Amino acid sequence: GVEMYMTGSSKHLGNWEEKKAKRMKRNGDGNWEIEIYFPVSLEIVYQYMLKDLDGRLVWRSAIVRKQKILETDTFRIHDYITCEEDIQTD
């Protein structure tokens, strides 16, 4: 099995450190989600990764995403990965 993680440019996302990446949860419809609290007006850059159950990196998204936190301090991710261009294996 694998688990989805999110890492990024903010301390809230581990400052790009793989070991500090935030684990996402699988919801009832099989998608991955996470809820993180950020300061309002913060701009974050982030990407997804998959780790096996022993914590070893098995995949990292080739696409880096950017989001500005506007009116609330809660950031909910509802995203999907479907493009072959987004596949990068180590």
Predicted pLDDT of residue 54: 95
pTM (2 d.p.): 0.79
Q: Answer yes or no: is 36 within a domain.
A: yes
How many separate domains does the chain show? 1
pLDDT at 36: 87
Residue 72 domain-assigned (yes or no): yes
Tell me which residue range forms the domain holding 43. Answer: 2-84
> Tens digit of pLDDT for each residue in 50-72?
999 999 999 998 889 998 887 77
- What residues contact residue 57 under an 8 Å CB cut-off, 6+ apart? 18, 49, 50, 51, 90
37 part of a folded domain: yes
Domain-embedded: residue 62:
yes
CATH number of 28's domain: 2.60.40.10
pLDDT band, very low/low/confident/very high, at 83 (cuts 50, 70, 90): very low
d(CA 37, CA 73): 5
- The answer to whether position 90 is within a domain reads no
